[in-house]
Amino acid sequence: MLTPAKFQLLRLALAFLLLPLAATCANAGEVDIIADKIVRDANGVATATGHVEINRGGETMRADKVRYDATSKQIKAIGNVHIHSADADISAASGNMNSENKTGELLDATISLPGGEHLKADRVLRLNEYTYRVFQPVLTTCPKDQETWHVYASEGMLDQNEGTFTAKHARFEFAGVPLFYTPYWQQATRRKSGLLMPSFAFGKRRGTEWALPYYFAPAPDWDATITPRLMTARGFMLETEVRHASSIGHEQIQLDGLFDKQLGRTRGYLRGEGAWLLPFDLSLSLKGSDISDTDYLADFSREASQSSRRYLSSNAQLSQAFEYGSWSLSSIYNHNLSTANNKATLQQYPNFRSNLSLPLFDSPATLHFDQNTTHFSNRLGVNDWRVYSHPYVTLPWTMLGGGLSSTITAGMTHTRYWLRQGANRKPRLTSGEFSIDSSMVFESVNNARTFRHSIIPRIRYDFNNVSNRPGVPSFDSRLSPLRLSNLFFGNRFSGFDAVENAHRIAFLLTNNFESKTTTTDAARTIFSINAGAQYNIRSRFNALNPPRAFSNLLGDMSFSPVKGFTAKIEGEYDPARSFWNRIAESIIWSSEYGHQFRATYLVSNSELFTTSETFQASATAQISEHWKAQGLVNYDITKQLTQQINVSIGYSHPCWDIVIQGHRTNRPTGTSVASNTGAAILISFKGLSSVGSNAR
């Protein structure tokens, strides 16, 4: 039993044991001080020296020497002062702070913010936990060891609640050279409205271009970019892009417009998209585009892929995926940019697709069912429906430890139409399918297990029996030319309106040589050759009634003697005419230092294509850690004309970039019939926001 006398004795013992800690730790109300030495005078003022650390309200202060007055709550820190919190890191030579309201003064201070900004000042007044008034400030967003640009000012205010740094009488210096002065400067320290860096370019089709984007961020969940663009050959364009994000998805809308002084009319472009995740694993996506005329993208798009687009598509889709399949309901609107009007273009709304895959009992067989229901219409009177169904069963099996594998497929397709025009208003297409696809692997591995040679023969038998009535339309089907990539397709028609009548055998022989330095390394293919063909069995079941049994011979060969280098050639040979219908050659090289080179030669001479012969090359040279050059050339050998040349050189620094681009395009596009030559200069200082003459 613990008597009062024993309890008092225990207290004295604990006090004796804790006495040595009194020299290294003192508690002064809300402030915890840890140091090598702490001395308290008769007035209650504690002086701490040597590795001093003070923890107070979510902040940690470190210094060589600290004097703390518990009565006035004042902290005076001297030597290597460092204040750390989740909002900022502050370093100073000395400072006076209040432990309760965290106000105070710091001398020769540097404030580092989470966004990478560094603010130096001779004197800093801390007005509250998140607001600082600075004198003779110097601001940069560059890393400390690579500071290239700075903003100097007479004084400024850092408001972390608003996310801004504002300064008076500021000048911007790059590499020590003053570039401009402004009486007012505002710098966003987090996502905030402000001017972005301007862009400059010139070319024959649009003249000299100058653009100054403005970033508008009124709320955390949405923002916008408004870009006025002046083009001397076309006029003034206003580009607006608005974006919104939420916990279930995102939306974006873009509107561009101008009065084209070259054509004397108003032109514009509207684009929007959105995607949302809904309850029950439903997904909803919308994407739409509209333009004033078919030449707009060719005239004003700054992307080569957009300038040559043939169709502009809009769609809305609701979809859901589940364990054994998925379904989607969509509407599709197509705008044909290659025609004067869009009356004949087929639209699809609605378009309902579904697929189902169910294991058959405990066997390896799987039952599949694909379905598509589509309504087609246009402004010329087409108002038709199509229902497509495709049930089929697959049965895979393997033998000899995976050395022999086969898959049997059997099924049918049935397509029904309800047409508004034509003699047969309800045509149908029915086909049965059966195929066996088998492959075998023969391989040889050396004793060191660093080299492997494999020979893989593959053979597939296809039988498609197509029965259709006259009047079956073709809404979206097209026969693809025979390639190695579709050699083993049972049906080379795209879409759902056609099925190949096929009774054939496809062959492919693959020969691979692989090597690796050690047994733990990944194997690399150093040489590969493929050769294949199709044999059409003489019967009424064959594709397009081929005049001979054997198809053209297909093959490719790739050679990669060293890592990063590959040479490849692909060809299609017609043995009946002793003629190469298609040859494609390419060389690809890349290095660990960032250098890249790619060259492609393509010649086509087939009944399905216009004879063409082209050469294209692109290269990237990583000149140094910061400098990079790129180039692209597209040459039409048949026309003996350089269709396109693009060159650029850029410098990338941790806090700024510059890219100089030049281009020449000889293809007439849009409303211009002449070639286009131009250049652009893109400069960005990472972290810069707005410049102006007042605070508005």
Q: What is the pLDDT of residues 378-416, one digit of tens each?
A: 988 899 999 999 999 999 999 888 889 999 999 999 999
Evaluate whether 58 touches 86 at the Cβ level (below 8 Å): yes
The string of pLDDT tens digits covering residues 197-219 is 788 888 888 889 999 899 888 88
Q: Which candidate, 172, 299, 286, places its Cα nearest to that of 233?
A: 299
In the structure encoding, which two tokens stand for residue 559, read together? 């050679």
The pTM for the full model equals 0.75
Binned average pLDDT, 10 residues per bin, the chain of 696 residues: 46 42 43 87 87 86 91 91 91 90 92 90 92 94 86 94 89 89 85 79 87 88 94 95 95 96 94 95 94 86 69 92 94 86 88 94 92 94 94 93 92 94 88 96 91 96 86 89 92 91 94 90 92 83 61 95 94 86 94 94 73 92 94 91 91 88 76 74 69 32
Give every CB contact of residue 330 below 8 A, 6+ residues apart in sequence: 315, 316, 317, 318, 319, 348, 349, 350, 351, 352, 353
pLDDT at 26: 42
- pLDDT of 134: 95
Nearest residue to 334 (alpha-carbon basis) of 272, 372, 376: 376
CA–CA distance, 168 with 150 (Å, rounded to integer)? 14
Identity (one letter) of the amino acid at 606? S
Cis (ω within 30 of 0) for the bond into 350?
Answer: yes
Choose among 370, 309, 381: nearest CA to 344: 381
The closest alpha carbon to 411, from 469, 463, 356, belongs to 463
- Residue 486 has phi, psi (to 5 degrees) of -120, 20
First to last CA, the chain: 77
DSSP assignments along 653-694, one per residue: ETTEEEEEEEEEE-S--TT--S-EEEEEEEEEETT--EEESS
- Number of CB atoms found within 10 A of residue 623's CB: 14
User: Per-residue DSSP letters for 288-328?
Assistant: EEEESSTTHHHHH-SSHHHHT--EEEEEEEEEEEETTEEEE
Any bridge partners for residue 393, and if so which?
A: 367, 410
Asked if 167 and 139 count as a contact pair (C-beta separation under 8 A), the reply is yes
Contact (CB, 8 A) for 238 and 257: yes
Q: What pLDDT score does 142 carry?
A: 87
Task: Give which of 385, 391, 392 is closest to 416, Cα–Cα.
Answer: 385
- Give me the pLDDT at residue 547, please: 58
Backbone angles phi, psi at 116, to 5 degrees: 100, 0
The separation between CA 452 and the C-alpha centre of its own chain, rounded to angstroms, equals: 37
Domains of the chain: 22-195 (2.60.450.10)
User: In which residue are the tokens 């364990």 written?
Assistant: 323
Nearest one of 556, 537, 555 to 545, comparing CA atoms: 537
Determine the 3-state secondary structure of 482 from DSSP. Answer: coil
d(CA 602, CA 599): 10
Alpha helices per DSSP H over 535-643: none
DSSP 252-277: EEEEEEEEETTTTEEEEEEEEEEEEE
Q: What's the Cα-to-Cα distance from 695 to each of 140, 192, 265, rounded to whole Å?
A: 20, 14, 38
Cα separation, 287 vs 214, in Å, equals 25
**What are 515's strand-pairing partners?**
451, 524
- Measured distance CA(370)–CA(391) in Å, rounded: 6
DSSP 418-470: E-SSSS-SS-EEEEEEEEEEEEE-EEEE-TTS-EEEEEEEEEEEEEEEEEE-T
The β-bridge relationship of strands 164-174 and 249-260 is unpaired
Q: CA-to-CA distance for 75 and 69, rounded, in angstroms?
A: 7
HSE of 132 in the Cβ direction (CA atoms, 13 Å)? 28
How far is it, in rounded angstroms, from Cα 572 to Cα 582?
5
Question: pLDDT by residue (tens digit) across 494-519?
Answer: 999 999 888 999 999 999 999 988 88
